[in-house]
Structure 1
Amino acid sequence: MKVVIPLAGLGTRLRPHTHTRPKPLVTVAGKPIVGHILDQFKGLDVEEYIFIVGHLGEQIRDYIESQYNLPKTSYFVQKELKGQSHAIWLARERLGGPIIIIYSDTIAEADLSDLDSVDADGIFFVKEVEDPRRFGVAQVEGGYVKRLIEKPTTMENKLAVIGLYYIKDSGWLLECIEEQMKREIKLKDEYYLADAFQIMIERGARFIPRTVEVWKDCGKPETLLDTNRYLLEKNGSQFPETEGSIIITPVHIAPTARITRSIIGPYVSIADNVVIEESIIRDSIINEGARIERAVLAFSLIGSNATFQGTCQQLNVGDSSQVRMKTEEEIVSL
């Protein structure tokens, strides 16, 4: 079995952080998103990992090759963002047999232990949601997926497709992607995988839905922070000794971070070489090399090597930013 991970999206909803790093390398709970995705496949017999990268893709390759000892890796560059099906098509020379496809912002707890014994052509992993109108949903009849509906206008079908798929015959999928592209079946100039799957279904493919209990999204600041909270609760806390500070778990603080006279937590991730002095921080992600002094922060994302001084409530600043708030004394003197 092979694992295919499309990673070429620009991550515009996570800017400014994705100006200087690809979205899969944005940190959550002490590790880049793609690291958490790869961790989901520990213990599985995976023959090869296939990555489709785009903007700043060399950073993704460097991270994976330095941090993971995977059995075999292949990388393909999606120079034109023509959609999910196009991304899979680029890797066609490496495909054959069963594959797992997972999107770059999907963190889920899914049962992958019995894939080789499934009596179907594949599995679409789904989760019931309160409001399905923001998602693609699976219409199920007789135990099989009969139709995929993108952003339905009604509320009766609540099985959202989470972006994790098992396909027993990837060659068949490629045939249907080729048919999709020949017929120009696309939306806003992008070829969506749902349309290729629909062609497979029309040709007789049997896909079963499998519900997951946990599905977390990393595509927006608010969902990234929610995922950070979940992973910190799940994985437990890690933090070094601090100087005159209070740590409220769960947190993840890198060993090289220096915390003095501060209150940190709950739900804070702090990367290597961060310096925090006389500050109160909760529900935030602080990236490597950042420096924060005399601040009150919550629900914030702080980029690498950013500097922040002064009081605030919420920040979303990118790499190498510098923010300095005036003190009360300075304001009075104006």
Structure 2
Amino acid sequence: MLHVEQFIIDGGATVLEAMKKLDETGERILFLAPGGVLEAALTDGDLRKHILRGGALEDPVRRAANPAPKSLPLTERGRAKRYIEQYDIDALPLVDKKGRIADIIFASGAGVANRACAGIPVVIMAGGLGTRLYPYTKILPKPLIPVGERPILEHIIDRFRDFGCADFRLVVNYKKGMIKSYFSELEPPYQVSYVDEDEPLGTGGGLCLLKGQVDSTFFLSNCDILLDADFADLAAYHRQQGNLITMVCAAKHFTVPYGVIELGENGAIQSMKEKPEMNFWTNTGVYVVEPRVVEELEDGKKQGFTDIIERYRARGERVGVYPISEQSWMDMGQVEELDNMRRKLEENE
């Protein structure tokens, strides 16, 4: 598996060295990125034009490179394929908030290995009944409901794998045998382990079953959402803030589709607002959590994870928010939202 570093070349390297490096990667593009920050792109075509203009093989590659390369923020990964097609380019670097190359998407749709979150386990709450998605969940457990050609759980796992995560712990209950059988037959190139929840304990209570099994900071995710987020930046933010728990929240804009009336005394109209607009932050169901939270949970107590957060907030513990855009969050909690997620993923494929 190739890594980002293998596609970065120093601007002072020679044209001949760049040609050799292109042969080593088997791709047609390199990037000039001092300190990891994208500065220029260098394709085999750029080298060819340089030579045809009379350039020497000993010239530094900065003379041949394109100083205005195309790129996208890492959080807009879903646009990559359409962007590549729109500009007819071989590869597209995805950059983090500091402009550093975090991933590279090629025209084939493949990316390179991003190891920024290697070693951070991911706990996915995959045991719910999924009643809001009935009748789908009458047949399949929610984690295995297909979105496109693959189940939602695989899409979620792939989002974390894009950042180097390889250790996935699934808290399972409803139709858990189907989930285990699916991944057994899949034989994935990452570690999947299971925590059996015999009785429903809620999105927070089920974590008590992980006592003694998690000894480092971990990601926690529901199994019905997809985020186009920079998980490396999220983990770094969590550490920098010294948070016990960090909640990922998405901006939400909502227009009430009705005229809203406020009543005064004796049935009089106090005010009228036609289709008022609301802006707020909403919990996406993804968190970064310290292992102490698991060890301090009461065994067998049914509770939501937001209940746990409220207790820590009341005690003055550091619980923070990591904001993302509304477009970076997809939810499939209800049938209509599931259809929207399918359409959005199809547009990006």
Secondary structure of the structure 1 residue equivalent to 2:140: coil
> Which amino acid letter does the alignment assign opposite residue 174 of structure 1?
V
- Does 2:335 align with 1:214? no
Q: 1:92 to 1:81 in 2, by over 3 A?
A: same
Q: In structure 2, do the counterparts of structure 1 residues 59 and 180 end up closer, same or farther at CA, with 3 Å as the change threshold?
A: closer
Quote the residue 1:204 is aligned against.
317
Q: 1:128 to 1:42 in 2, by over 3 A?
A: same
Alignment of 1:220-235 (within 5 A): 220-235=334-349
Say whether the 8 Å CA contact 1:180–1:195 is kept in structure 2. no
1:47–1:108: structure 2 CA closer, same or farther, 3 Å change rule? closer
CA distance in structure 1 between the aligned counterparts of 2:318 and 2:291, rounded to whole angstroms: 12
Aligned residues: 205
Aligned to 2:248: 125
Measured after TM superposition, the shift of residue 132 of structure 1 is 11
Contact 2:253 2:279 in 1 (8 A): no
Separation in structure 1 between the aligned mates of residue 233 and residue 124 of structure 2, nearest angstrom: 20
User: CA separation in 2, counterparts of 1:179 and 1:220?
Assistant: 30
Kindly tell me: are residues 116 and 129 of structure 1, through their superposed partners in 2, closer, same or farther at Cα, counting changes over 3 Å?
closer
Structural mapping, 1:53-202, within 5 Å = 53-67=172-186, 69-118=188-237, 119-120=240-241, 121=243, 122-131=245-254, 158-167=280-289, 169-171=290-292, 173-178=293-298, 181=301, 190-201=302-313, 202=315
Contact 1:124 1:164 in 2 (8 A): yes
Structure 1 gaps, min length 5 = 134-154, 182-189, 236-334
Partners of 1:224 and 1:123 in 2: CA distance? 26
Sequence identity (%) = 24
The Cα shift of 1:70 comes to 4.3
Aligned to 2:167: 48
| Deviations 1:182-239 (CA, angstroms, capped at 9, x unpaired) | xxxxxxxx4011121122233422423222432111122211111110000011xxxx
- Quick one: which amino acid aligns to residue 165 of structure 1? Y
SS across alignment from 1:128: strand
Q: C-alpha separation between the residues in 2 aligned to 1:61 and 1:132?
A: 41
With over 3 angstroms needed to count, the CA separation of the structure-2 counterparts of 1:13 and 1:127, relative to structure 1, is same
Cα deviation, residue 49, structure 1: 0.8
Q: How far apart are residue 50 of structure 1 and its match?
A: 0.4
Say whether the 8 Å CA contact 2:234–2:322 is kept in structure 1.
Answer: no
Q: TM-score, normalised by structure 2?
A: 0.54
1:8 and 2:127 are equivalent in the alignment: yes
Q: Structure 2: state its 5+ residue gaps.
A: 1-119, 257-276
Give the TM-score taking structure 1 as reference length. 0.56
- The 2-side partners of 1:78 and 1:131 are apart by 36
**Structure 2 residue corresponding to 1:33, chosen from 152, 159, 169:** 152
| Per-residue deviation, 1:84 | 1.2
**Greater Rg by CA:** 2
Which structure is higher in helix share? Answer: 2
Q: What is the Cα-based RMSD across aligned positions, in Å?
A: 2.7
Helix, strand or coil for the counterpart of 2:143?
helix
For 1:253-292, list aligned pairs within 5 A. Answer: none
| Structure with greater strand share of residues | 1
Q: Which string of whole-angstrom CA distances, capped at 9 and with x for unpartnered residues, describes residues 262-298 of structure 1? A: xxxxxxxxxxxxxxxxxxxxxxxxxxxxxxxxxxxxx
CA distance in 1 between partners of 2:300 and 2:186 (Å): 37
Compared CA separation, residues 132 and 25, structure 1 to 2 (3 A): farther
